[in-house]
Structure 1
Amino acid sequence: MRNREFWDLVDEVFGRGYGRTLADDQMLTALGDRTAAQAIEAGVEPRVVWHALCDAMDVPDERRWGHDKFRQAPPPR
């Protein structure tokens, strides 16, 4: 996943306004108590950040990839 794809998914799944606020403000323990935006800026793999954000917000697997179900399969758990 590229950074652009991460931000596209944030906008699609959470809505542009709320998603950007969430990425800037929601502290994620899975990312070392950083926000998604801080983690992306620090070079954390966008896919890792995406899953941490979705896990924290209880986004079900079927909604994690937006409308394009074939965009990328979720990793095995």
Structure 2
Amino acid sequence: MSQTRPRMTNLFEQLGLDSSEEAIALFIATHQLNAQTQITEAEYWTEAQRQFLAEKIKSDGSWAIIVDQLNESLHEDSVIR
């Protein structure tokens, strides 16, 4: 088992998305969710991406922490308001 802690770039790679810092920042800025929408309910995920995120959240391991960080980032606008 790998001892490497996953990072946001790893998460984006696993989701099949551009994992450059600029692309991650752009994705987060352009894919904000309202407070009532859970990360796994976002319209823009494919079914495979949705399942991956749900699995990682349930695992409650190091991947869950990264998914939670993405979740918080995608809800930044709804918290500010």
Task: Give TM class, smaller chain.
Answer: 0.3 to 0.5
Q: Normalising by the residue count of structure 2, what TM-score does the alignment of the two structures yield? A: 0.33
| More relative contact order, 1 or 2 (CA 8 Å, 6+ apart) | 2
Q: Normalising by the residue count of structure 1, what TM-score does the alignment of the two structures yield? A: 0.34
- Structure index of larger Rg: 2
